[in-house]
Amino acid sequence: MTENTVQVDNVRPIGQKHTESATSSEQGQRSRADLTDNQKLMVELTKYRMPYGKYKDMRLVDLPEPYVVWFSQQGFPEGELGTMLAIVHEIKVNGLDHLFKSPKK
């Protein structure tokens, strides 16, 4: 793993099933637990703010994509901020920004 790579566990493409062998009951319980963890992460991402720099106090999910890409090229900071920026980077470069937009009425 390179220094610019952040590993994110328990993330799989939508619709991909668990490949571990377990009863359907165990799989259902595990899926609900994963979903809960993923939901918590998404909520955390929507609240996390940039602690410094030009975009201080801006939500990470609202940072301009070129800025997040720059971080990925320079290396994400250590710790929680780096992990969150890496996740935001993946979301932005894969065109999933709409996940954080409020639905229009």
In a domain, 19, yes or no: no
Mean pLDDT of 55-83: 94
pTM of the model: 0.63
Contact by Cβ (8 Å): 60, 50: yes
CA 99, distance to chain mean position in Å, is: 11
| Predicted local distance difference test score (pLDDT) of residue 3 | 52
Q: In sequence order, what are the beta bridge partners of 19?
A: none
In a domain, 53, yes or no: yes
Tell me the average pLDDT of the chain. 77
| Predicted local distance difference test score (pLDDT) of residue 25 | 52
| Confidence label for 12 from pLDDT (cuts 50, 70 and 90) | very low
pLDDT in tens, 36-52: 787 888 888 889 999 99
In a domain, 74, yes or no: yes
Amino acid at 94: N
Q: What percent of the chain stands above pLDDT 70?
A: 63
In a domain, 40, yes or no: yes
> Nearest to residue 71, comparing CAs of 95, 94, 47, 55?
55
For 46, the domain range is 24-100
In a domain, 6, yes or no: no
Q: How far apart are the two ends of the chain, measured CA to CA in Å?
A: 44
In a domain, 68, yes or no: yes
For the chain, how many structural domains are there in total?
Answer: 1
